[in-house]
Amino acid sequence: MTISIDSQKTNNESLQPKGWLRYFSFSLDHKVIGIQYLVCGFLFYLIGGTLASAIRIELASPMSDFMPRDVYNQVLTLHGTIMIFLWIVPVVNGAFGNYLIPFYVGARDMAFPRLNAVAFWLIPPSGLMLVASYFVEGAAQAGWTAYPPLSITTPQSGQIIWILSVLLLGGSSIFGGINFIATIIKLRRPGLKLMQLPMYCWAMLGTSILVVLSTPVLAGTLILLSFDIIAKTGFFNPVLGGNVVVYQHLFWFYSHPAVYIMVLPAFGLVSEILPVHARKPLFGYTTMVFSIMGIVVLGLVVWAHHMFTSGTPPWMRLFFTIATAFIAVPTGIKFFNWVATLWGGKISINSAMLFSCGFIINFVFGGITGVALAQVPFDIHVHDTYFVVAHFHYIVYGGTVFIIFSSIYHWFPKVTGKMLNEKLGILHFIITFIGFNLCFAPQHWLGLNGMPRRVAEYDPQFQFVNQISSIGALLMAISTIPFLINIFISMRNGQVSGDNPWNALTPEWLTSSPPPVENWEGEAPLVEEPYGYGKQFYEQN
Amino acid sequence: MTTLDSSKEIQKNNSVVNEKHEDFRIFGLITFLIADGMTFAGFFAAYLTYKAVNPLPDGAIYELELPIPTLNTILLLVSSATFHKAGKALLKDNNSDSQKWLFFTAFLGIIFLICQLFEYFHLPFGLTDNLFASTFYALTGFHGLHVTLGTLMILIIAWQSRVNGGRVTSQNMFPLEAVELYWHFVDGIWVILFIILYLL
């Protein structure tokens, strides 16, 4: 049976508002939905960043003088939840995925445009619910992990709203994942083979498989947790015969793959950006594909390395240590491939390239501390200390957020037809890179010396290092200013970019910038070699 | 219907956008059912772990009666077969037969739910009595929710496959195929649930 893809779209087109108003409508255009994800995510990033600044101000002194202890716990819970579920996951999957994947597979829209719009429009209400949960009596204060019995015994109305909000966001994520899998597998233009797809498609395919397999488990777990809170059942309440470790297993069965849900798309995006700005083909395409799929498989069987101090039996520790160490292999392959892509290339030093290189440096560091944390003796020593905080932020901020900025610099001309200002962009990179490393590198030392995380007060001997970290956080907050100025100035008065300012070969650049509603005037081009830069150079000379 | 007509007009004028592709709504549904199955997998894993590591206090151990759930298993398996008959009938353009089979399937679903409620009211434990009781109600309740939704969807497509003016026809089999797939999935989950919860 065949159906017409475009009847609903053209139909929709005549009913849609034009201009900037379409970004506030139930638009079915994948490009509009991508921008909706990005801008919505960035607004929540600003909220989450403000909360992070509040945390660092509190930690500039050893006593809890900036805010009371329970407020501190509420702030860090909200910071973690907003940053993960409303900024990183929606932006790195939803925003760039929606904008780029239909171009990459040569389609005019996603496989299920209506489901796509539903998935986006679940985010603003659940995000507002999450923020609102802070203002009700008894805001959630059990961290983004919501570990029982803490989440059951602390005041609960905020925790319930928190659970509802995360359930809705999980639903949105699953709908997005289903859409990406169907688009990449089923909607490829005729003649385009799987092994010719740009790397971001593979990354999104792997990510979506993880989303579909693991997010429902989190949903089920949170439903059981809400039963414990509302109906006073005892699933995770030891007083009623329940078992808290079962919650941890189920939670980390989602939340470890969630790290790959946040990082694999960034791997894909950096694989798109580096070849363009180094004018070289992506090194080791096939190994990249297999390492992504290797990470997907291994990522599903390493969750208990978050639980080495939860009374985990020795055989389990052994298995999860070895499985975790194995992940370093495919990840290492990817790193060598990126470095080899840069090697001997004609590198242009621009903002997109700088942020991508910053990503490589930060992520190598975060990856090494990750391998260290997988070792049981070391993990037990630094468990629940600032070492873990530093490791996690090196992965998620130093890794994914750097790539989000890199991608914004790379694809801004595509979306708007204007270039971003390079001087402001480089300033943005320098402040972000210095601020980020100043903020989080000292936290490794703090953790190794035993400063526990998620506590508002600490031993005064750590004050100086904490103040260095807080100055770094201040720089990170300042770094947003040149970025925002850049966006607003360039949107109005930026240099006109032309259709393909980077001379890139991937399909999204083979149309006008900004692209027409149907993505291409005429048939979608068949791009068999999205990274054929060397060949092009060879043929020209 | 005017917007539909105008969109046809646009397509006629613009040959470029008039592309066809295969229907992959069933593919999307299968992906969704895998996700749904993972939710059940999480519940089953929790139940089995509790069974292995959290022994119940003395006096809380209760052997479940088997007649009602066995009857329920038979009801659901038969309903899968009757649903299949409905699809076959619709394929032969025999809408009224198809509708009868669909109503019969929905009837079996409703009987299943009534039996389930009857069992709930006659069990000697409540939701919060102990860990086993809570897990029992969570698992069967979550499955019962799926059966309820499935029965409602069957009633909707049964109404839509009426002879005159129905939208579900042999030319538009998708709604029936989708609900059928979902119904088989819910049956399959019940069989696993029956084995794990009642027989193990």
Residue B24 and residue A6: Cβ atoms within 8 Å? no
Residue B31 and residue A233: Cβ atoms within 8 Å? no
pLDDT at B20: 62
Q: Alpha carbon of A203 to those of A293, A450, B56: distances in Å? A: 8, 37, 45
Among B166, B10, B27, which residue's Cα sits nearest to residue A4? B10
How buried is residue A315: exposed, middle or buried, by Cβ count under 10 Å (0-12/13-18/19+)? Answer: exposed
Residue A7 and residue B20: Cβ atoms within 8 Å? no
Alpha-carbon span A103 to A409, nearest angstrom: 18
Number of C-beta neighbours around residue A65 at 10 A:
12
Q: What distance in Å separates residue B115's CA from the closest CA in chain A?
A: 24
Measured between alpha carbons, how far apart are the two ends of chain B, in Å?
A: 57
CA A86, A384, A66 angle in degrees (round to 5)?
Answer: 70
Residue A111 and residue B24: Cβ atoms within 8 Å? yes
pLDDT at A16: 59
Provide ipTM, 2 decimals: 0.90
Mean pLDDT on A401-425? 95
Contact A217, A261 (CB under 8 A): no
Q: Closest partner residue to B4 among A11, A182, A220, by Cβ?
A: A11
Q: Residue A322 belongs to what H/E stretch? A: helix A314-342
pLDDT at A285: 94
Contact B127, B134 (CB under 8 A): yes
Residue B59's SS3 state is: coil
Residue A240 and residue B131: Cβ atoms within 8 Å? yes
pLDDT at B155: 95
CA nearest to B41 within chain A: A217
Number of C-beta neighbours around residue A329 at 10 A:
12
Q: List residues bridging with A496 in a β-sheet.
A: A418
Q: List residues bridging with A452 in a β-sheet.
A: A385
Q: Which of the 8 DSSP states describes residue A18?
A: P
Alpha-carbon span A491 to A306, nearest angstrom: 44
| Helical pair A402-416 and A96-105, crossing angle rounded to 10 deg | 60
- Could you give the percent of chain A with pLDDT greater than 90? 81
pLDDT at A168: 96
Which residues of B are less than 8 Å from A15 in CB distance? 3
CA nearest to B1 within chain A: A11
Q: Residue B145 belongs to what H/E stretch? A: helix B131-160
Dihedral in degrees, nearest 10, Cα atoms A115, A120, A121, A124: 160
Q: Closest partner residue to B11 among A7, A186, A220, by Cβ?
A: A7
Q: Alpha carbon of A369 to those of A212, A292, B143: distances in Å? A: 28, 20, 43
Residue A381's SS3 state is: helix
Which residue has better confidence, A45 or B125?
A45
Q: Where residue A88 falls among pLDDT bands split at 50, 70, 90?
A: very high
Cα four-point dihedral sign A115, A116, A118, A119 = positive
Contact A256, A303 (CB under 8 A): yes
Q: Looking at chain B, which runs of residues are DSSP E strands?
A: 20-22
Q: Where residue A533 falls among pLDDT bands split at 50, 70, 90?
A: confident
Alpha-carbon span B53 to A191, nearest angstrom: 54
Which residues of A are less than 8 Å from B48 in CB distance? none
Number of C-beta neighbours around residue A375 at 10 A:
16
Residue A4 and residue B56: Cβ atoms within 8 Å? no
The answer, yes or no, to whether residue A446 has pLDDT greater than 50, is yes
Residue B35 and residue A5: Cβ atoms within 8 Å? no
Contact A178, B32 (CB under 8 A): yes
Residue A5 and residue B45: Cβ atoms within 8 Å? no
The answer, yes or no, to whether residue A6 has pLDDT greater than 50, is no
Q: List residues bridging with A418 in a β-sheet.
A: A496
Residue B46 and residue A227: Cβ atoms within 8 Å? no
Residue A178 and residue B31: Cβ atoms within 8 Å? yes
The answer, yes or no, to whether residue B2 has pLDDT greater than 70, is no
Q: Where residue B1 falls among pLDDT bands split at 50, 70, 90?
A: very low
CA nearest to B2 within chain A: A11
Residue A2 and residue B18: Cβ atoms within 8 Å? no
Which residue has better confidence, B15 or A134?
A134
Name residue, tokens 């993505």: A519
Which residues of B are less than 8 Å from A249 in CB distance? 45, 49
The answer, yes or no, to whether residue A140 has pLDDT greater than 70, is yes
Q: What distance in Å separates residue A102's CA from the closest CA in chain B?
A: 14
Alpha-carbon span A410 to A273, nearest angstrom: 7
Q: Closest partner residue to B54 among A232, A233, A241, by Cβ?
A: A241
Round the CA-based radius of gyration of chain B to a whole number and report it: 21
pLDDT at B21: 65
pLDDT at A540: 61
Residue A174 and residue B22: Cβ atoms within 8 Å? no
CA nearest to A108 within chain B: B17
Residue B21's SS3 state is: strand
Q: What distance in Å separates residue B31's CA from the closest CA in chain A?
A: 6
| Helical pair A30-58 and A402-416, crossing angle rounded to 10 deg | 150
Contact B60, B130 (CB under 8 A): yes
Which residues of B are less than 8 Å from A111 in CB distance? 24, 28
Residue A215 and residue B24: Cβ atoms within 8 Å? no
Q: Residue A425 belongs to what H/E stretch? A: helix A422-448
Residue A216 and residue B38: Cβ atoms within 8 Å? yes
Residue A235 and residue B46: Cβ atoms within 8 Å? yes
pLDDT at A373: 94
Q: Closest partner residue to B38 among A11, A185, A217, by Cβ?
A: A217
Instruction: Record the tokens describing residue A55, joined without a space.
Output: 């945390």
pTM for this prediction: 0.92
Q: Which of the 8 DSSP states describes residue A394?
A: H
Q: Where residue B12 falls among pLDDT bands split at 50, 70, 90?
A: very low
Q: Closest partner residue to B27 among A186, A213, A227, by Cβ?
A: A186
Contact A175, B28 (CB under 8 A): no
The answer, yes or no, to whether residue A245 has pLDDT greater than 70, is yes
Q: Alpha carbon of A266 to those of A93, A262, A444, A509: distances in Å? A: 9, 7, 24, 20
Tens-place pLDDT, residues A141-195: 999 999 998 999 887 889 999 999 999 999 999 999 999 999 999 999 989 999 9
DSSP string, A448-509: HTTPBSS-S---GGGHHHHHHHHHHHHHHHHHHHHHHHHHHHHHHHPPB--S-TT---SGGG
CA nearest to B43 within chain A: A220
The answer, yes or no, to whether residue A4 has pLDDT greater than 50, is no
Q: Closest partner residue to B54 among A223, A243, A523, by Cβ?
A: A243
Residue A182 and residue B27: Cβ atoms within 8 Å? yes
Counting one residue from chain A and one from chain B, the pairs whose CB atoms sit within 8 A come to 148
The answer, yes or no, to whether residue A13 has pLDDT greater than 90, is no
Tens-place pLDDT, residues A357-402: 999 999 999 999 999 999 999 999 999 999 999 999 999 999 999 9
Q: Which of the 8 DSSP states describes residue B56?
A: P
Tens-place pLDDT, residues B126-140: 888 888 889 999 999
Which residues of A are less than 8 Å from B176 in CB distance? none
Half-sphere exposure of residue A307: CA atoms within 13 angstroms, side-chain side: 25
Tens-place pLDDT, residues B13-43: 443 444 566 788 999 999 999 999 999 999 9
